[in-house]
Amino acid sequence: MLEFNFTPFPVIETERLVLRRINNDDANEVFELRSNPETMKFIPRPLVKDTEDALEHIAMMEDKIVTNVGINWGITLKDSSKLLGIIGYYRLQPENYRAEIGYMLAPEYHGKGIIPEAVNRLIRYGFDDLKLHSIEAIIDPENFASEKVLHKCGFVKEAHLKEAEFYDGRFLDKVIYSLLDN
């Protein structure tokens, strides 16, 4: 069984990006991301209502890092510390050598290749550093942009679960994509 340890926190760079630890100074950007109905359209979670909610969300992400049960990075461009998005590993399954990757990006940065660049780098981190055997991504079947990212990054569709999650008074489908280490 795998054991995860995110201390010291792994700052990760790509050609254009720095994936860094999210902190309370990012509260305004976390609020902008998680309060935006467009950004949250395919994420069945309540919208953040104010900066206090954003700080609670940051504290929850930090707790997962400290307890080694999940890890999130803030996505920034190399020449700026402004948080553009969040990417991370959720629902770590050390007994199965598997984890779920998830991401969100401010709408004004969509279509610039930022998420595929970050996902491809975190795939390597997942396989090389965390020693995962498989990585999964769970998306809404209507989230065509995310589906395109996953295809571009080599993921394959494993399942389409009908009405598998109940949220906000309705049942939602979800699609599972995965990638095996080779």
- pLDDT bracket for residue 149 (50, 70, 90): very high
Is the model's pLDDT at 154 over the cut of 90?
Answer: yes
What's the rounded Cα separation, in Å, for the pair 39 and 135? Answer: 23
The residues, any chain, with a CB within 8 Å of residue 162's CB and separated by 6 or more, are 173
Is the model's pLDDT at 182 over the cut of 90?
Answer: no
Q: What is the pLDDT of residue 92?
A: 97
Tens of pLDDT, residue by residue over 35-87, are: 999 999 999 999 999 999 999 999 999 999 999 999 999 999 999 999 999 99
Q: pTM for the whole thing?
A: 0.96
Q: What is the pLDDT of residue 132?
A: 98
In this structure, the strands spanning 17-20 and 134-139 are: unpaired
